[in-house]
Amino acid sequence: GAVVSQHPSWVICKSGTSVKIECRSLDFQATTMFWYRQFPKQSLMLMATSNEGSKATYEQGVEKDKFLINHASLTLSTLTVTSAHPEDSSFYICSAGESGRAWGTDTQYFGPGTRLTVL
């Protein structure tokens, strides 16, 4: 149980184009999903918290107009990198916690990540 998938697993795009990444909780419902970015040989940096049915909460320094997040259902969140540039190339990882748990006690389950390369 508690499987999170991401699609695509990797994507190469031209500078200026937009890329959409999907994150799905396969066998549980997730009120909240999280989007992280991981640079080579570095830790995961939280970008934003995606809340089902409401606006995402972005971390300081993350451009909300560039990284559009939509959490339309309890099993799907999408991250769209708009007008991508080479500096956006990174490994993007999502996670999801099971709904209904006490505040602060969610265990997050992670997706396999999406490697984005912007040429």
Binding site for another protein (CB under 8 A): 4, 32, 34, 42-46, 49, 93, 95, 97, 103-113
Q: Which is nearer to another protein, 26 or 119 (CB)?
A: 26
Q: How far is the CB of 45 from another protein (least distance, A)?
A: 8
Q: Which residue has the tokens 């990284």?
A: 67
Q: Is 88 strand, coil or helix?
A: helix
Q: How far is the CB of 44 from another protein (least distance, A)?
A: 5
- Show Cβ contacts of residue 96 under 8 Å, excluding neighbours closer than 6 positions: 4, 23, 25, 28, 30, 32, 33, 34, 77, 108, 109, 111
Q: Which is nearer to another protein, 19 or 35 (CB)?
A: 35
Q: How far is the CB of 41 from another protein (least distance, A)?
A: 8
Q: Is 29 strand, coil or helix?
A: coil
